[in-house]
Structure 1
Amino acid sequence: MKLVIVSGLSGSGKSIALETLEDCGYYCIDNLPVALLESFVRQAMLTDQGTFQKTALGIDARNQSASLSQFPATRAMVAASGIDCELLFLQAEPFALLKRFSETRRKHPLTDATHSLSEAIELEWQLLEPVSQQADLLLDTTYTNVHQLRQLIRDRVGAREKRLMSLYFQSFGFKNGIPLDTDFVFDARCLPNPHWEPALRSKTGKDSEVIEFLSKNQDVCEYQDYLTSFLEKWVPRFEAENRSYLTIAVGCTGGQHRSVYLIEQLARHFRASPYDILVRHRELG
């Protein structure tokens, strides 16, 4: 049996995550009180395994703070019951959340006469800290649109095979910020930049001309070999610790050439491994 607990900040995409999991065949319940989680598992999931074979529950700051503080102990109980339980936590930078609430004109669940929107966002972070620290998969949606988030949820949770570790390779541009939902971040800005070659400026690291330019450079080849050797050594160590997800990000200045090339090469190499390989180029949309 599979249980995915979806939590995170208001405005970060929790509803979209639950809707996507429902499309993937999960039985979904939103805003379940933490105090009822143990009862739900024992009285529903374990007694009607056909209906609740794949279940997703939304838990967020609408719970009382006392209940949220008990979440780690409650989750340990779920694990002890033998259910395969994973926690997905969604977050976004405050400026992105402020923009989203402003655009949709929705009310933050923690705003009131004494808390402004920015104060409510900060309070929510504090309330959800016991939950976020338990996360198996952390997704930062600051620079992710609705369609990209749906695809991320489908790839990383909805369609993932049981017990198959997922390696998520992502390229990005430092000029747009470092992705916060990353286990390893590597900086490729020291490598030759195809941007300064007029014929290559409009192309990407997936185009043959850029691939040829980079693959012939000794520094690029050594950097790629280093990344490959590093991951080959340490990824199995994380797998041995029962990690379900591992995210590897490579960044360059704009996220168009060097980082894209390296991520493509790493993904191609590790597709021969037993891991579930996923690729995203953040700046390529």
Structure 2
Amino acid sequence: MTAAPPDERGELVVVTGMTGAGRSTAAKELEDLGYFVVDNLPPSLLPDVERLVDESHGPRRSIAVVVDVRSGSFFAGLRGHLAERATPDAGGRRATLLFLDAADDVLVRRQEAARRPHPLQASGRLLDGLTRERRVLADLRAEADLLIDTSTLNVHQLTGRIAEAFGTPETTALKVVVISFGFKHGIPIDADFVADMRFLPNPHWVPELRPRTGRDPEVSAYVLSQPGAAEFLDAYVPVLTGVAEGYLRQNKRFMRVAVGCTGGKHRSVAMTEEIAARLRAAGHEAKAVHRDLGRE
């Protein structure tokens, strides 16, 4: 396989740091941002992971690996591996070393709350393990491209910092799914919002519209022209956009809006399409999905 030019290769983020400082949270956020994530990887296997990702996902796919003292003797090779990548002719992905740290008292509280021993404490105290870990990681901490102290950060704040550093406009945008459904088939259990369109007249009782669906222009025009339809949309969509902005402030990037009618064929379908269109016009990434269309 011919190597991709440097500007066409994804990034390699090496996540390391103190136990309890948020490595798992950072890895989960990177995964949400589209990175291929591998946890507890011996540094010597980094080239193999890159090769496998190149072959299965392509060289543009970014990779994040979590490397920590659990790797034992393999951990000592991380600095050398990163140093090799720093040479001009190294090739491969550009590597970023992310180091997560926190004050000892904070780390102790977090580990005690998780009821987990420190991997280096042996028969000693948890603080003894942290002290040993700091010695092992001292050089990597000094060489980190990005150091984040999570002592005063909650989960949402940490994920926000990761998104700021490694996200793109595409990966950090809110993704909204507006899903139509029929109440007779059950409400979607994973919906964040549920709206009931049964207050509108049912096209099922209009003979020429009955065989059609809410995606057909004739049915859509009929539904949207009914008394209350425009008023509902004018009031409901601004609520959704306001919530969407709040979701983004909390680093939540997925929202599901369910819109129901009796069978999920006419009213909910037409209104779902219109809500999704209005959300897109407001600048959100929104798509319409019709769960029960065709089930009648």
TM-score, with length taken from structure 1 = 0.51
Aligned to 1:58: 66
> Separation in 1 of the partners of 2:139 and 2:47?
17
151 and 81 in structure 1: CA distance in 2 versus 1, 3 angstrom threshold? same
> Separation in 1 of the partners of 2:74 and 2:96?
19
| Greater mean deviation of Cα atoms: 97-106 or 134-143 | 97-106
Q: Once the two structures are superposed, what CA deviation does each residue of 1:127-174 show, in whole Å capped at 9, x if it has no partner?
A: 12232233100000011111111111111223389xxxxxxxxxxxxx
Aligned to 2:127: 118
TM-score, with length taken from structure 2 = 0.49
130 and 153 in structure 1: CA distance in 2 versus 1, 3 angstrom threshold? same
16 and 120 in structure 1: CA distance in 2 versus 1, 3 angstrom threshold? same
CA contact (8 A) 1:44 1:52 kept: no
Q: Once the two structures are superposed, what CA deviation does each residue of 1:238-280 show, in whole Å capped at 9, x if it has no partner?
A: xxxxxxxxxxxxxxxxxxxxxxxxxxxxxxxxxxxxxxxxxxx
Q: After TM superposition, give the deviation of residue 37 of structure 1 in Å.
A: 2.0
> Separation in 2 of the partners of 1:32 and 1:160?
29
> Separation in 1 of the partners of 2:136 and 2:94?
25
Q: 2:45 aligns with which of 25, 28, 36?
A: 36
> Separation in 2 of the partners of 1:123 and 1:141?
20
Q: 2:94 aligns with which of 63, 84, 98?
A: 84
Aligned to 1:191: none
Mapping 1:141-152, distance limit 5 Å: 141-152=150-161
18 and 128 in structure 1: CA distance in 2 versus 1, 3 angstrom threshold? same
> Separation in 2 of the partners of 1:160 and 1:152?
15
Aligned to 1:13: 22
| Corresponding residue pairs, total | 158
Q: Once the two structures are superposed, what CA deviation does each residue of 1:44-88 show, in whole Å capped at 9, x if it has no partner?
A: 244445276111100011122x43332222113344123121111
> Separation in 2 of the partners of 1:57 and 1:155?
18
> Separation in 2 of the partners of 1:74 and 1:160?
31
> Separation in 2 of the partners of 1:160 and 1:100?
33
Q: Does residue 1:93 correspond to 2:103, yes or no?
A: yes
What code does the residue aligned with 1:108 have? H
What code does the residue aligned with 2:31 have? E
Aligned to 2:82: 75
SS in 2 for 1:63: helix
> Separation in 2 of the partners of 1:84 and 1:10?
25
> Separation in 2 of the partners of 1:69 and 1:117?
22
What code does the residue aligned with 1:74 have? H
Aligned to 2:211: none
SS in 2 for 1:28: strand
SS in 2 for 1:82: coil
Q: After TM superposition, give the deviation of residue 119 of structure 1 in Å.
A: 0.5
149 and 158 in structure 1: CA distance in 2 versus 1, 3 angstrom threshold? same
> Separation in 2 of the partners of 1:160 and 1:142?
28
CA contact (8 A) 2:54 2:61 kept: no
> Separation in 1 of the partners of 2:116 and 2:106?
14
- The CA RMSD over aligned residues, in Å, is 2.1
SS in 2 for 1:62: helix
Among all aligned residue pairs of Structure 1 and Structure 2, give the percentage whose two residues are the same amino acid: 35
> Separation in 2 of the partners of 1:58 and 1:30?
5
Aligned to 2:119: 109
SS in 1 for 2:98: strand
121 and 52 in structure 1: CA distance in 2 versus 1, 3 angstrom threshold? farther
CA contact (8 A) 1:68 1:131 kept: no
Mapping 1:124-273, distance limit 5 Å: 124-159=133-168
129 and 118 in structure 1: CA distance in 2 versus 1, 3 angstrom threshold? same
> Separation in 1 of the partners of 2:56 and 2:85?
16
CA contact (8 A) 1:71 1:130 kept: no
SS in 2 for 1:128: helix
